[in-house]
Amino acid sequence: MRVVTPFSRRVDDTMESFIMGLVEVAARPGMISFATGLPDNDLFGTDALVRAVGDVLREDPAGPLQYDTASGFIPLREYIASRCRDVLGVDATYEDVIMTNGSQECFDQLGKMFLDRGDGMVVENPGYLGAIQSFSAYGPRFTGVDVGEDGVDVAQLEEALSHDPKLFYSIPNHQNPSGNSYSDAVRVRVADLVRGSGCLMIEDDAYGELGYGGRVGRTMKSMAPDDVVLTGSFSKTISPGMRVGWMVVPEWMRAEANRNLEASCLQSNTFCQKVVHRFLMDNDYDLFLDGLRRGYMEKKRIFLEAMEENLPGTMRWNDPDGGMFIWLRSPEGTDATALFEGALDEKLVVMPGKPFHVRGGANTVRLNFATPSEEQIHEGMRRLGRVCRRLYPE
């Protein structure tokens, strides 16, 4: 009998994520996808990046191809720290900024640094599946706190914190999957709860720059600097393929964070960090971001109009003020798995909301309006309309 090496407990503990599976399904011929969270191909600054790549290599033919320190390229970290100070109200220096391979890597690093099997961890319900999958490898006991239109339920968070969890993972701005943001009042109360609690809050700001009317609120990191790690990324603004993310850590965990990153991957991608830095130096980033926001706002308008035109009155959805997602709900008590399957028969992929939940959420679906073209939005919505009218007639 052939004996194979048993996997570690971490491998067994790591949850399934539908996301990559759906990327594969979405790539099949004739499929339209409202499922994944990819930026719009037409909004990349490709020409400026071509110039940045050339300039970086011409000016320093070896440096961008060489190893660097674990925490990353200092001028880029300085830029991020200055943006933290000027835009986010966070009093950071470059030494607080650690570059990672996309912000997804931050979650693995933080899980590794803080979670032993069975430790408590608070997550939003619904919450970003990719991060929860990453933390799941370290075997925490997840407690879900509900997220509504004003953000996290503060009473539930207070109760959850009374059980001494190690980590609280949150997305205060334009949450993936629901599109909701924390109100100012919720931000203040959450900061009060977290400050000095012994529970480290992870503030994932992946969509913070994509607020259509500007940034929607104060950062949690600015209100509880020693109790919050802020994670950020250029994935939703410049390019996800370049994998340039970062975390802004409190001084007390800097050395350990650097040591752990080094142990995992030595450092993140020097070349892409230098290209991103060059792009930021040679272009007006705020102007570039304005263009992105306008582009996504227009996509959202087209998408919402198509929803109004095609979906029956039994369906409910929100109108987010940033990010890439709309949160669709079928009638209470129904299971949107039927909607997901019916849509697949029509060659449309949508993302069921249930996997984003630790409880409930059976009647929810996440729709991405950023990736499909205008033509795909119209055709996809006709397909979705046919399924919804059949399953949930008025």
Footprint of ligand PLP on this chain (CB under 6 A)?
37, 102-104, 128, 130, 171, 176, 204, 206, 233, 235, 240, 245
Assign 3-state DSSP to the chain and report helix, strand, coil percentages, each to 5.
45, 15, 40
Distance CA(278)–CA(318), nearest Å, equals: 38
Minimum distance from residue 245 beta carbon to ligand PLP (Å):
4
Distance CA(46)–CA(35), nearest Å, equals: 24
Is-contact 246 80, C-beta < 8 A?
Answer: yes
List phi, psi (to 5°) of 375. Answer: -60, -45
Task: Pick between residue 73 and residue 128 the one whose CB is nearest to ligand PLP.
Answer: 128
Minimum distance from residue 370 beta carbon to ligand PLP (Å):
11
Is-contact 223 193, C-beta < 8 A?
Answer: no
> Which residue pairs, CB below 8 angstroms and at least 24 apart, start in 18-26?
18/129, 18/351, 18/352, 18/355, 19/129, 19/130, 19/351, 22/349, 22/351, 25/344, 25/349, 26/349
Task: Pick between residue 36 and residue 270 the one whose CB is nearest to ligand PLP.
Answer: 36
Minimum distance from residue 176 beta carbon to ligand PLP (Å):
4
Task: Pick between residue 235 and residue 270 the one whose CB is nearest to ligand PLP.
Answer: 235
Token pair for 190: 């959450």
> Helices (H) and strands (E) in the chain — how many of each?
14, 14
Minimum distance from residue 106 beta carbon to ligand PLP (Å):
8
Q: Which residue is nearest to ligand PLP (CB)?
A: 102
Distance CA(189)–CA(192), nearest Å, equals: 5
Task: Pick between residue 126 and residue 165 the one whose CB is nearest to ligand PLP.
Answer: 126
The DSSP result for 281-332, as a single string, is HHS-HHHHHHHHHHHHHHHHHHHHHHHHHHS-TT-EE---SBSSEEEEEPPT
Which residue(s) pair with 304 in the sheet? none
Task: Pick between residue 140 and residue 232 the one whose CB is nearest to ligand PLP.
Answer: 232
Token pair for 48: 């400026």
Minimum distance from residue 102 beta carbon to ligand PLP (Å):
3
Task: Pick between residue 139 and residue 240 the one whose CB is nearest to ligand PLP.
Answer: 240
Minimum distance from residue 206 beta carbon to ligand PLP (Å):
4
Minimum distance from residue 64 beta carbon to ligand PLP (Å):
21
Token pair for 276: 């991103």
Task: Pick between residue 68 and residue 204 the one whose CB is nearest to ligand PLP.
Answer: 204
Q: What is the number of other CB atoms lying within 10 angstroms of the CB of residue 358?
A: 16
Task: Pick between residue 37 and residue 322 the one whose CB is nearest to ligand PLP.
Answer: 37
Task: Pick between residue 102 and residue 372 the one whose CB is nearest to ligand PLP.
Answer: 102
